[in-house]
Structure 1
């Protein structure tokens, strides 16, 4: 699959709809803040770091997502791809807010964001160091959501054994492992860790990080990813050339 990765404050229906005509098979909306701690962290991201964030109130997220997905589907009714929603939460409880949204195909747990307010809220990348909470989330969504489940992780996080985390995630009924193969201090993906992950897990791996060209795309596939996702390159408006 060719995947549009989440970008907080950017990936709503209006932004995402055009990619239904650019070779994308899976569109990721979000990331969205699902509870009070992550919502407050999002506001702090805006005020302290001038980052884009969605202002969606957790209590209205179901309705807002329905509107975003309608925008995408109505723009290109011929597009038969999947819709994923990237979600930040501090515990397992908020995910049930979206179980009745039949137009959502995939719930993606955000174990990836690294902004200080998110880490202080014990969400995003912080979940990689707290397998109790991450496990509770995985148990909740894989048991009760009735949807496909993705987990987006970041590699090479200090104090975290990436391969152990992958093994832990695989112990649950997860459908996709979305891997930001971050290579600290390097402007490019860590293909070595991606290759090791793909060789270790039977989960469908979506490779992500610094995919800006067709060559980057092919290198992700050559190192074992079954799918590849694009994020920041999509801000330029045209990503079809990356997949072709």
Structure 2
């Protein structure tokens, strides 16, 4: 799906094309966003801004996605766009736009902010697998490669079982925020072996990167320190070292990372 097997993860209101370009020398993928697509999630985002959270709130979210992805067309990094929606039509439009740029459409089933969950998006989708699978199928039918951003430690959610359903619905990738339950990565990998698994949370160095890869992740992603080139160089080196030692990919090992 991307090489090197290091991504940077979306940070709402912060992860834009400029952010992705800055990280481009070290990463294989940049997930922009997240962005609210429909009226319910945009209202939720405005409420979140009112309490001092950062959010992307352009007049036209689909045009914004297109503009941001266009700004990355000339660099050798696979782009993705993390989106939040309670309805299907804007998911399809966003997926069409991503497909046009060979970008990944990432459905956000991860945001735990109360406003977004009340709007029917984010983490609330983890507890409503039927709706989440419907969003995945809608994005896949629109022609995009589809990732789903999920998190562990959500009460009442059997994440490995849900991961299998998501893969069956058309998810090409699962982006797992492991929280403090890193071994769940192995369970998800075993439940959905055909999905490209990106592990996230606390990835900072060789030890954390190798832990997730040992659990069966295909790649890792960096969140908060994604604007720190020292961290990105260190993690990329660790990822390439792991794959070189295990021989599990043909990724070329870079000596200048």
TM-score, scaled to structure 2:
0.84
* Matched positions, count: 229
- Is 1:91–1:133's contact at 8 Å kept on the other side of the alignment? no
Match of 1:55 among 44, 57, 82: 57
Structure 2 SS opposite 1:191: coil
Match of 2:111 in 1: 113
Instruction: Describe the SS at the equivalent of 1:171.
Output: helix
Q: Which runs of 5 or more structure 2 residues have no equivalent in the other structure?
A: 238-257
Q: Does 1:175 align with 2:172?
A: yes
Corresponding position of 1:187: none
Q: Which moved further from structure 2: 109-118 or 209-218?
A: 209-218
Any residues of structure 2 matched to 1:21-100 within 5 Å, and which? 21-22=25-26, 24-48=27-51, 50-57=52-59, 60-73=60-73, 77=74, 79-98=75-94, 99-100=96-97
1:127–1:121 distance in 2 versus 1, CA, 3 Å: same
2:14 is the counterpart of 1:10: yes
Describe the SS at the equivalent of 1:168.
helix
Corresponding position of 1:243: 236
Deviation at residue 135 of structure 1 after TM alignment: 2.2
Partner residue, 1:234: 226
Structure 1 stretches of 4+ moved >4 Å: none
Give the RMSD, CA atoms, in angstroms: 1.5
CA contact (8 A) 1:111 1:125 kept: yes
Please list the CA deviations of residues 167-203 of structure 1 after superposition, one character each: whole Å capped at 9, or x if unmatched: 22122121101111112xxxxxx22111111122211
Corresponding residue number in structure 2 for 1:217: 209
**What is the CA-CA distance between 1:214 and the residue it aligns to?**
2.4
What is the Cα deviation at residue 81 of structure 1? 2.4
Q: Cα distance, 1:72 vs. partner?
A: 3.1
The CA distance in 2 between the partners of 1:221 and 1:139, in whole Å, is: 28
Inter-partner Cα distance in structure 2 for 1:241 and 1:176? 24
Residues 125-174 of structure 1, C-alpha deviations (whole Å, 9 max, x = no match)? 1001112321221221122x111111111111012111221122122121
Q: Per the alignment, do residues 154 and 31 of structure 1 end up closer, same or farther by CA in structure 2, a change over 3 Å counting?
A: same
CA distance in 1, matches of 2:58, 2:233: 30
Aligned to 1:195: 186
2:160–2:192 contact (8 Å) kept in structure 1:
no
Give the distance between the partners of 1:221 and 1:131, measured in 2 at CA: 27
TM-score if structure 1 supplies the norm length? Answer: 0.88
What is the distance in 2 between the residues matched to 1:237 and 1:40?
35
Q: Is the 8 A contact 1:175 1:204 kept in 2?
A: yes
